[in-house]
Amino acid sequence: CLRQINTVSKIKTQNLQVIESPSPDSNILAQLEARIPTLHYPKPQTFSRGECIQNPVRFFAILSMQRSGSGWFETLLNSHINISSNGEIFCAMDRRKNISTIMQTLDRVYKLDWFNSASKNECSAAVGFKWMLNQGLIEYHKEIVEYFNYRGVSVVFLFRRNLLRRMVSLLANSHDRYAKLLNGTHKSHVHSQEEAAALSSYKPIINCTSLISDLREVEMDAVKALEYFNSTRHMVVYYEDLITNNTKLNDVQEFLGLPRKELTSRQVKIHKGPLSDFVKNWDDVIKTLNGTQYERFLQAD
């Protein structure tokens, strides 16, 4: 597209006449702009970008829900030499107590003044973080959408298709916060099969009385987020697709306007195998979901 634009720009325009203005739906330039990430040249207050001051930076945010693969997805992104994804920064209440503190935090991230182990500040070509839907994102969505559009922030929605698997992961992770199955420590993500086996040994009991309403609530949260942030430049990614289709990671890199690299992660999947192996009252779950719109969650991914 850029080559075509450069070619067209060389044509002399004095003999051209506008026959008919294009309709909004056929406005090629607008469609092209929607496909290209906004370029930024941040001037951080805490350090100098040095020789990288002329290198453009793209802004992004990963919008997701807990136990949807966002931690694993973020480690994949951070294995790219040009990407700095700064973690779940709004898990801290003081950063999201009101819209002012949210905006201040966003400014720090996108000015490259946010430091953590994932930061490649001087020569980052894309900088962002992950943001859970229940961390002020929905509550202040109007102001955040306005900020994203004004600052040119690209949004990556990361969801999980099988919400029952997400629920099992959520219950198991909540249990381990207190049980600390790994030698008295709690880990949300692991890096070995032995650690994964230890955490997956716990089989939660699912509340079948509220199961359908709980699944519906999570489903509607995702729908609501997509509706609220529809006007932003965004793409939707599913955890299951990332696992089964390597080209999806290429799509994300292209969406962020970055050169394709092979992305890797040391994280190991905890609940690997049929869900029936990880739920204590599996028979009750089957009876509850059979014949409903959520029956598909009982099958293997």
- The pLDDT assigned to 186 comes to 93
Structural contact between residues 281 and 205, judged by C-beta atoms closer than 8 angstroms: yes
Block residue for tokens 């028979």: 283
- Ranges 31-35, 123-127, 255-259: which has the least confidence: 31-35
pLDDT bin (cut points 50, 70, 90) of residue 185 is very high
- The pLDDT assigned to 299 comes to 86
- Give yes or no for residue 92 having a pLDDT over 60: yes
- The pLDDT assigned to 150 comes to 97
Q: Give me the mean pLDDT over the 248-252 stretch.
A: 96
Average pLDDT, the chain: 89
CA distance to 113, 228, 231, 250, per residue, from 255 (Å): 24, 20, 16, 8
- Give yes or no for residue 297 having a pLDDT over 60: yes
pLDDT bin (cut points 50, 70, 90) of residue 13 is very low
- Give yes or no for residue 250 having a pLDDT over 60: yes
- The pLDDT assigned to 29 comes to 55
188 token code pair: 């949300």
C-alpha count within 13 angstroms, C-beta hemisphere, residue 134: 7
What one-character DSSP code corresponds to residue 39? P
Return the exposure string of 265-278: e unless at least 16 CB atoms fall within 10 Å of the residue's CB, then b. bebbebbeeebeeb
Mind listing the domains of the chain with CATH numbers?
35-298 (3.40.50.300)
Instruction: Give tens-digit pLDDT for 217-247.
Output: 999 999 999 999 999 999 999 999 999 987 9
Q: Tell me if residue 106 falls in helix, strand or coil.
A: helix
- Give yes or no for residue 25 having a pLDDT over 70: no
Amino acid of residue 196: A
pTM equals: 0.87
- The pLDDT assigned to 196 comes to 94
Phi then psi dihedrals of residue 281, to 5 deg: -105, 50
> Which residues, in sequence order, are bridge partners of residue 64?
132
- The pLDDT assigned to 172 comes to 96
- Ranges 29-33, 200-204, 260-264: which has the least confidence: 29-33
Q: At what angle do helices 163-179 and 193-200 cross, to 10 degrees?
A: 90
- Give yes or no for residue 15 having a pLDDT over 70: no
Q: Classify residue 21 as exposed, middle or buried by CB count within 10 Å of its CB (0-12, 13-18, 19+).
A: exposed
